[in-house]
C-alpha cells in the first residue's frame, strides 16, 4: 500500500469507531509520535480492557500514571538481572538438552523440534527463576506450574470482560463455566503467590540477607527500588512516587506476559531462518568457537555474563535480524490528543522521498506499522526482504537509520525488557548452534528454497505474531 500510493503515510477510516486512522511506514514520523508526549498517547481503551485485572501496571496506563511505574521499574531491569538471566538460561538449556538426548534414538540422529513449545517452556523457566529468584521462598516448581497455567488461560483472562466471569459463575453454561472457573482459580493462585513473594522479598531486603537466592532477581530489584523511593519521601509524596503491593504484583505479571511469548516467538523465527540459511549458522558457530574453543560451558556464573554476551555480536545480530523481518509485535496504536500536523514523505516520480505534511485532528488514531518500516527499501535497501544479520554488525556497509528498527518499539514507551530478551536469546542460540545443526524439516527438503522460506516464515497475527508452522529439525554435531 505504501508503495502503491508512494507515501510514508496512508489513511483509512475505522468504520466501527468512525475515526480516521493514519498508518505510518516512516521512521522519522514515528519517532515524533513516540516522543511527543503532549500530542500523542497510547490508545488506552485497547489496553485497559484486558490488562488491568491484577491492578494498574506499566503497560495499561496513560502517560501520567505510567511515569511512576516506569520510574520504579527502570532500576529493576539492571545488569544484575541480566546476569541472572544469563545463568538461568544456561541451566534451563542444559535440562532441555538432556531431555532431547533421551529422545534421539533414531538412526539418522535427527530430532524434530516444535520450536514454539520448546522455547515457551524455556522462557517460562527462565522468567520464573530470573523474575522471582531460583529456589526463593516461593518454591520455583510450583510458581512455574502456576505461570504455565496462567499463560494457557491468558487468552480467556485478557480478552473477556469481568462480567462474563461473574455471569458464568452464577449461571452454569456447559463447558464454558468450568473452564472460566478454572481460569479464575489459576489467576487467584498466581495472585496469592505473587503477593506472598512480595512480602517475603521485602522482609529479605529489610534484613539485608546477603545469601538470599532472590539476589539480582527482578522482583527483588523491583521491591528494593520501590523501598528506596519510599525511604526518600515524606508520607504525602510517597503515595505519588512509589507503587503499592498490588501494583508491584500487577507489574510482575505484566513483565511475564510481555516477555514470555514474545521471546519464545522470536526464538522460533530465528531458528526457522537459521534452518534456511546454513551459512549464517556457520558464522555463528565460528563466533562461538572463538569465545569458547573447548565448548560452551554448561554451568555459568552470573559474573561471566558481561564478557561473554558482549562478544556474541553476530549471534545477537541474527536474533535482531529475524525480529526485523518478522516483528513479534507488528503494529502499535496511538491516539492524537490535539490537532496537529505530522511531517512525512511521499515519493516523487523517480522514487526519491520528498517531505510533505499531513494534518491530523484530535481523536484520530495512528498505527505505527513496524512490519512496514522493517521492510521499507528506503531504509534497508533493495534487499530488505533478505535475512542478513550483517546489517546489525557491519554498519559501514549496511547503513540504516537507528530509528528504523522498531521491534522493541521506540520513544519513552519502548520495551523495558529488550536486553533481558537479547541476553536470553543470544545465550539460547549459541548453545543450540554449538551442539546442533538446525535443518529444515525432512518433508520440506525437496521443495525449492523460496517455498521452504514462505512456509517456515509464515506468521499469524494475534496478540503477538507467531509462526504458523513452528517446526525445525536438530542434528547433533559430531
Ligand atoms: C523478543 C522479545 C520482546 C519483544 C519483541 C518486545 C517488544 C515490545 C514492544 C513492541 C513494546 C511496546 C508495547 C506497547 O507500546 O504497547 C514492549 C513493551 C514492553 N515490554 Fe517488551 N518485548 C520483548 C521482551 C520483553 C521482556 C523479556 C520483558 C520483561 C521481562 C518485556 C517487558 C515489556 C514491558 C514491561 C513493556 C512496557 C513498557 C512501557 O510501557 O513502559 N518485554 N515490548
pLDDT tens-digit map of 414-435: 999 999 999 999 999 999 999 9
Query: What pLDDT, in 10s, does the model give residues 388-415?
Result: 999 999 988 999 999 999 999 999 999 9
Answer whether residue 439 is part of any domain: yes
Answer whether residue 389 is part of any domain: no
CATH number for the domain spanning 44: value is 1.10.630.10
Mean pLDDT of 331-340: 95
Question: Do 289 and 349 share a domain, yes or no?
Answer: no
Answer whether residue 376 is part of any domain: no
Question: Do 72 and 30 share a domain, yes or no?
Answer: no
More confident residue, 441 or 176: 441
Mean pLDDT of 74-103: 94
Question: Do 220 and 255 share a domain, yes or no?
Answer: yes
Q: What is the DSSP letter of 454?
A: H
Phi, psi of 288 (to 5 degrees): -65, -40
Percent of all residues in the chain with a pLDDT value above 70, rounded to a whole number: 95
Mean pLDDT of 217-223: 92
Nearest CA to ligand 1 atom 39: 413
Cα–Cα distances in Å, from 380 out to 79, 250, 396?
31, 38, 13
Phi, psi of 111 (to 5 degrees): -125, 130
Q: How far apart are CA 50 and CA 163, in angstroms?
A: 12
| Per-residue pLDDT at 383 | 95
Question: Do 2 and 44 share a domain, yes or no?
Answer: no
Q: How far apart are CA 259 and CA 59, in angstroms?
A: 12
Mean pLDDT of 441-452: 96
More confident residue, 266 or 50: 266
Among the three residues 341, 365, 389, which one is the final residue of a domain in this structure?
365
Q: How far apart are CA 311 and CA 291, in angstroms?
A: 7
Among the three residues 312, 347, 365, which one is the final residue of a domain in this structure?
365
Domain count, the chain: 2
To 10 degrees, what angle do helices 449-456 and 245-276 make? 170
Nearest CA to ligand 1 atom 25: 259
Indicate the pLDDT class of residue 233, thresholds 50, 70 and 90.
Answer: low
pLDDT at residue 36 above 60?
yes
Question: Do 22 and 133 share a domain, yes or no?
Answer: no
Indicate the pLDDT class of residue 60, thresholds 50, 70 and 90.
Answer: confident
Which ranges of 22-139 does DSSP label H, i.e. alpha helix? 27-35, 44-51, 63-76, 79-103, 115-132
Question: Do 117 and 205 share a domain, yes or no?
Answer: yes
pLDDT at residue 456 above 90?
yes
Mean pLDDT of 261-290: 97
**Ligand 1 pocket check for 252: Cβ under 6 Å:** no
Q: How far apart are CA 291 and CA 285, in angstroms?
A: 10
Indicate the pLDDT class of residue 284, thresholds 50, 70 and 90.
Answer: very high
- For strands 40-42 and 331-336, give the pairing: antiparallel
Nearest CA to ligand 1 atom 21: 415
**Ligand 1 pocket check for 266: Cβ under 6 Å:** yes
Q: Which three cell numbers stand for residue 382?
A: 533493495
| Per-residue pLDDT at 170 | 87
| Per-residue pLDDT at 326 | 97
**Ligand 1 pocket check for 415: Cβ under 6 Å:** yes
Q: Domain range spanning residue 429? A: 36-329+407-476
**Ligand 1 pocket check for 58: Cβ under 6 Å:** yes
What region does 115 belong to: left with phi over 0, alpha with psi -120 to 50, or beta?
A: alpha
Q: How far apart are CA 80 and CA 75, in angstroms?
A: 10
Nearest CA to ligand 1 atom 24: 259
Answer whether residue 382 is part of any domain: no
Q: Determine whether the annotation assigns residue 194 to a binding site.
A: no
Question: Do 240 and 298 share a domain, yes or no?
Answer: yes
Question: Do 18 and 82 share a domain, yes or no?
Answer: no
CA of 418 to the centre of ligand 1 (A): 7
Question: Do 272 and 241 share a domain, yes or no?
Answer: yes
Nearest to 476 by CA among 115, 87, 106: 106
Question: Do 318 and 335 share a domain, yes or no?
Answer: no
pLDDT at residue 231 above 80?
no
Mean pLDDT check: name the lowest of 18-32, 222-236, 262-276, 328-342.
Answer: 222-236
Query: What pLDDT, in 10s, does the model give residues 351-380?
Result: 788 999 999 999 999 999 999 999 999 999
Answer whether residue 11 is part of any domain: yes
Residues 6+ apart with CB under 8 A from 284: 274, 314, 315, 318, 429, 430, 433
CA of 370 to the centre of ligand 1 (A): 14
Q: Decide: 359 and 339 in contact? Cβ < 8 Å.
A: yes
Answer whether residue 375 is part of any domain: no
Question: Do 25 and 104 share a domain, yes or no?
Answer: no
Average pLDDT score over the chain: 91
Among the three residues 365, 392, 427, which one is the final residue of a domain in this structure?
365
Question: Do 226 and 83 share a domain, yes or no?
Answer: yes
Answer whether residue 139 is part of any domain: yes
The percent helix, strand, coil of the chain (3-state, each to 5) is 60, 15, 30
Phi, psi of 465 (to 5 degrees): -85, 130
Euclidean distance between the first and the last CA atom of the chain, given in angstroms as a whole number? 48
Query: What pLDDT, in 10s, does the model give residues 146-183?
Result: 999 998 898 888 888 888 988 888 888 888 899 999 99
Answer whether residue 9 is part of any domain: yes
Amino acid at each position: 500500500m505504501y508503495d502503491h500510493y508512494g507515501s510514508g503515510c496512508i489513511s483509512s477510516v475505522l468504520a466501527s469507531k468512525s475515526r480516521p486512522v493514519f498508518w505510518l511506514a516512516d521512521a522519522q514520523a514515528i519517532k515524533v509520535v513516540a516522543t511527543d508526549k503532549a500530542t500523542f498517547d497510547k490508545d488506552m481503551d485497547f489496553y485497559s480492557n484486558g490488562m488491568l485485572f491484577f491492578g494498574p501496571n506499566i503497560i495499561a496506563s496513560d502517560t501520567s500514571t505510567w511515569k511512576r511505574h516506569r520510574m520504579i521499574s527502570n532500576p529493576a531491569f539492571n545488569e544484575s538481572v541480566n546476569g541472572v538471566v544469563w545463568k538461568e538460561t544456561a541451566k534451563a538449556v542444559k535440562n532441555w538438552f538432556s531431555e532431547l538426548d533421551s529422545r534421539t534414538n533414531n538412526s539418522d540422529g535427527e530430532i524434530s523440534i516444535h520450536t514454539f513449545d520448546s522455547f515457551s517452556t524455556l522462557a517460562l523457566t527462565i522468567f520464573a527463576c530470573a523474575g522471582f529468584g531460583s529456589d526463593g521462598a516461593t518454591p520455583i516448581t510450583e510458581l512455574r506450574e502456576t505461570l504455565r497455567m496462567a499463560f494457557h488461560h491468558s487468552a480467556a483472562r485478557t480478552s473477556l470482560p469481568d462480567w462474563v466471569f461473574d455471569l458464568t459463575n452464577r449461571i452454569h453454561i456447559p463447558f464454558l463455566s468450568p473452564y472460566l472457573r478454572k481460569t479464575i482459580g489459576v489467576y487467584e493462585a498466581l495472585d496469592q503467590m505473587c503477593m506472598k513473594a512480595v512480602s517475603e522479598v521485602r522482609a529479605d531486603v529489610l534484613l539485608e540477607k546477603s545469601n538470599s537466592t532472590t539476589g539480582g532477581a527482578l522482583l527483588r530489584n523491583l521491591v528494593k527500588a520501590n523501598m528506596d523511593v519510599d525511604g526518600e519521601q515524606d508520607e504525602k509524596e510517597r503515595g505519588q512516587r512509589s507503587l503499592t503491593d498490588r501494583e508491584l504484583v500487577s507489574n510482575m505479571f505484566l513483565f511475564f506476559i510481555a516477555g514470555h511469548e514474545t521471546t519464545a516467538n522470536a526464538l522460533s523465527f530465528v531458528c526457522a531462518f537459521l534452518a534456511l540459511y546454513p551459512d549464517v549458522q556457520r558464522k555463528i558457530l565460528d563466533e562461538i568457537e572463538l569465545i569458547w574453543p573447548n565448548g560452551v560451558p554448561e554451568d555459568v556464573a552470573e559474573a561471566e555474563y558481561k564478557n561473554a554476551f558482549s562478544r556474541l555480536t553476530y549471534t545477537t545480530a541474527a536474533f535482531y535480524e529475524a525480529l526485523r523481518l518478522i516483528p513479534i509485535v507488528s503494529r502499535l496504536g496511538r491516539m492524537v490528543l490535539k490537532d496537529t500536523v505530522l511531517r512525512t514523505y511521499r515519493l516523487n516520480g523517480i522514487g526519491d522521498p520528498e517531505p510533505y505534511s499531513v494534518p491530523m485532528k484530535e481523536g484520530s488514531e495512528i498505527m505505527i506499522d513496524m512490519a512496514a518500516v522493517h521492510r521499507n527499501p528506503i531504509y534497508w535497501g533493495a534487499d530488505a526482504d533478505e535475512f542478513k544479520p550483517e546489517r546489525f554488525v557491519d554498519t559501514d556497509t549496511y547503513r540504516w537509520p537507528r530509528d528504523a528498527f522498531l521491534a522493541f518499539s521506540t520513544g519513552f514507551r519502548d520495551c523495558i525488557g529488550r536486553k533481558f530478551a537479547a541476553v536470553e536469546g543470544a545465550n539460547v542460540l549459541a548453545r543450540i548452534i554449538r551442539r546442533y545443526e538446525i535443518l529444515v524439516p525432512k518433508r520440506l527438503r525437496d521443495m525449492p528454497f523460496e517455498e521452504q522460506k514462505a512456509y517456515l516464515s509464515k506468521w499469524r497475527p494475534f496478540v503477538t505474531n507467531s509462526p504458523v508452522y513452528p517446526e525445525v529439525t536438530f542434528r547433533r554435531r559430531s
